[in-house]
Amino acid sequence: MINYKKFIQGSGPIRFATLLVTFLVVILVTQEQFFLISPLKTLELKLLDERFTRRGEFDIKDSSDVIILEIDQETYEQIPNSWPWPRLLFNKVVQNLESAGVKAIGIDLMWSNPDRVNPDYDTLMIQTIREYGNIVVSGKVNIEKEIQLLRADSKYSVSEYTDSTHTALDENFDNIFFIADSSIGIVQTPGDYDEVYRRYQPYVTTSNYPKPVPSFGFAILNKWWNLPPDSIAKRNDDGSYFTLGAKQIPAYDRTTMLINFYGADRTFPRINFYKVLDDERFTTKDEIDYGVPLDEWTMMDQSIFSDKIVLIGSTMPEDKDFFNIPISRGQREGDNIVAGVEFHANVIQNVIWNDYIKGQPQYIELLVLFLIGLVVFYISSYIKKKKIKHHFLLELFNFGLILLLAFLIYQVGIYLFVQYNYIVPIISPILMIVMSYFAVTAYHFITERSQNKLIKGMFSTYVSGDLVNELIKNPDKLKLGGEKRNLSILFSDIAGFTAFSEKLQPEELVEFINDYLTEMTDIVLANRGTLDKYIGDAIMAIWGAPLDNDRHEYYSCKTAIEMQQKVDELGSNWQLEGQNLINIRIGINSGNVVVGNIGGRNRFDYTVMGDNVNLASRLEGANKQYSTGIMISESTYEKVKDEFITRELDTIRVKGKVAPTTVYELVGFLSDEEATQKITRLKDYVEGLSEYKARNFEKAFTLFETSYEANNKEHASFVYMERCKYFIENPVEDDWDGVFTMKTK
């Protein structure tokens, strides 16, 4: 059996939402591992760039631990030697920097071949590197062939290799000075999908070298903290961070960290290479041309290099050592491009200052996506269930909330980055919002169709088509589980049906009953009633369920009168056809009842039950006592007395009830002249009832007798005549309350 309450109000949507949201979370989190949606990936990366732009640049020139010694156009113009310059010049620069108290030097130049001027200059450079022990040279590997999965530990050390092995390693790292003290740093770094460089590898592995090799920035950090040259920032067991000495560096993925860029090009302090070279022993082109010794190094405040890291590298476009980074000044196209030497400077400064961009852990991302999906599902579901005249306004409001939530997620992502260097996904939560919204829309479309089919199936034979459509339009008004409601209940029955049916053949009886019930049911449904059931020739109908009806008393009474009128109309036709006439009796009561699906596991009906239902049934039968057609209870009468013509019949105690009720005959509509005339003719009955209640039984008898004779032996008057006779002969007790107790149903 279908549990309709659960279908409409229960846990089905909860289970569906949970499963749906879980499925969407899995798709969003794992989609890059199985299939890449290029536009979405690009958009996510661009939103990361937007966060850098919104945060803006930092002025770190006076506080930076890194100074860039740039080889630019001016340097080329001031050094008389042609490129590539002899290594002697670099050795001189290193000597000057060391004398100024520099803490570490990184040379971001590819020295793959011996000095073209004098091989002894290479020997001198090697001696200098070994002497100071704080110099790192750059190296490269073939990315496509060499970079593999990284290893955190190795049983090998550089010192175990022979000179013959070094030759192969020199070729692999593309720098002949690796043999000086093994202090080499790999300058290559992985770019993102859109060829923007946002990440940095602490180390790489190569096929010709059995252990990880530090990247350029991390090799320099080894010098900064006096660590062995082959020290590696090891990845911890859960992959959440890399450890270098006492530093814990947040990992973005298995192999990289995110770079916290301080600004676009020229954020770090720069000094021309030739100015450090130009001491009293070196002559620049300007000094040659003008014959005046300038000696830039001698005049410079050399203390600026004390305890600093100096990176030597080219900023010439011809050298093509540039990176697209996620931050720009937005002043011109291409101003998000920085020289490689400054790219590495950002990483070094991040680690020294513990100034990292922290990414959201995946388990938190999963939880956030799951919660967002559920919130959107239930908010959208709640809004979609609301019914107003212009439903599209609700849908616009719902869509507006979706846009607002997406905007808030975007703003939260910006805020967390700007204030806390914390990066959270933006596209996947927004996608979750959009996908959940459309999933809710599809879900409600399907469930509404199923619900509409259910409602039509259950109520199309119970209520009118208009009510069915209203139920479909406003299913929130429908509660299929048991509930207490104030309703009006009508019972009708054919008087003397047993004797009547015996005069008909079975086929005739079935045809008659079908015709009769069809006519009566049409009247019930036309008056917004709900057909509860047929009991043989009897009809049970209710008003006020499944849809509320503030005038259920009125419609039930109107239905009763129209049913009697229809029987009179049918009687004229039956009489012409030679068939017997019938009379029907109707009882109506209004009050609180229990309404809902009532029955067994495999069979049930939408029906009502309670004392007020039983009273309505008893009133139908009580009509026999007074030969009336329609009897209504006091509770019904109080609601319709100003809209219908009625007369008080009696105060009775029906069988099975203790409390008495005053009952009334429903005579007709206020506009019905025949009903008005009937009440006028019954004025003696009305006066007689007053005298009867006052225990003036002799006077009451006379009035009832007059009414009886004047109204064609009106039976209610005759009932009271008989009672008056009895009470005249048998005086009532002092506690007599005028209540008549019915002995039969």
Three-class DSSP labels, 532-569: EEEECCEEEEEECCCCCCCCHHHHHHHHHHHHHHHHHH
Secondary structure (DSSP) of 258-274? E-----STT-S-EEEHH
Which segments of the chain have a pLDDT < 70?
Answer: 1-38, 142-173, 207-209, 385-391, 444-481, 574-581, 598-604, 656, 744-745
* Pairing of β 184-186 and β 135-139: parallel
Query: Treating both helix axes as pointing N-terminal to C-terminal, what angle do 611-626 and 715-729 enclose, rounded to 10 degrees?
Result: 90
In the prediction, which pLDDT does 28 show?
54
Amino acid at 198: R
pLDDT in tens, 83-113: 899 999 999 999 999 999 999 999 999 898 8
In one-letter notation, the amino acid at residue 179 is I
Q: What CA–CA distance (Å, rounded) separates 311 from 165?
A: 29
Give the separation between CA 115 and CA 122, rounded to whole angstroms: 6
For residues 113 and 175, give the distance between their C-alpha atoms in angstroms, rounded to a whole number.
8
With a CB cutoff of 8 Å and minimum separation 6, the contacts of 308 are: 65, 66, 67, 102, 103
Distances in Å between the alpha carbon of 505 and those of 495, 538, 583, 629? 19, 20, 20, 27
Separation CA 39–CA 283 (nearest Å): 55
How many C-beta atoms lie closer than 10 Å to residue 689's C-beta? 23
CB 321 within 8 A of CB 313: yes
CB 487 within 8 A of CB 547: no
Measure the CA–CA gap between 48 and 193, rounded to whole angstroms.
Answer: 13
| SS3 label, residue 483 | strand
Pairwise CA distance, residues 3 & 597, whole Å: 10
CA separation for the pair 709, 720 (Å, rounded) = 13
Sign of CA dihedral 344, 345, 346, 349: positive
* Nearest of 88, 92, 97 to residue 67 by alpha carbon: 97
pLDDT at 431: 80
- CA separation for the pair 140, 320 (Å, rounded): 15
Distance, in Å, from the CA atom of 241 to the CA atom of 179, rounded to the nearest integer, reads 31
Per-residue CA distances from 506 to 4, 494, 517, 519 (Å): 39, 17, 16, 20
Q: What is the pLDDT of residue 269?
A: 96
In this structure, the strands spanning 530-535 and 257-258 are unpaired
The neighbour count for residue 106, using CB atoms within 10 Å, is 31
pLDDT digits over 128-180, tens only? 999 999 999 998 875 444 433 333 333 333 333 333 334 434 455 678 888 88
Query: Which pLDDT value is given to residue 199?
Result: 94
3-class SS string, 117-144: CCHHHHHHHHHHHHHHCCEEEEECCCHH
CB 379 within 8 A of CB 393: no
What's the gap between Cα 401 and its chain centre?
11
The whole-number pLDDT of residue 316 equals 92
pLDDT computed for residue 165 by the predictor: 36
CA gap 201, 150 in Å, rounded = 10
Count of CB atoms situated within 10 Å of the CB of 50 = 17
Cis ω on the peptide bond leading into residue 250 (within 30° of 0)? no
What does the alpha-carbon distance between residue 352 and residue 507 come to, in Å, rounded to a whole number?
Answer: 102
What are the residues whose beta carbons fall under 8 Å from the beta carbon of 713, sequence distance 6 or more? none
User: To 5 degrees, how large is the angle CA 735–CA 736–CA 740?
Assistant: 145
| Dist CA 312 CA 341 (whole Å) | 7
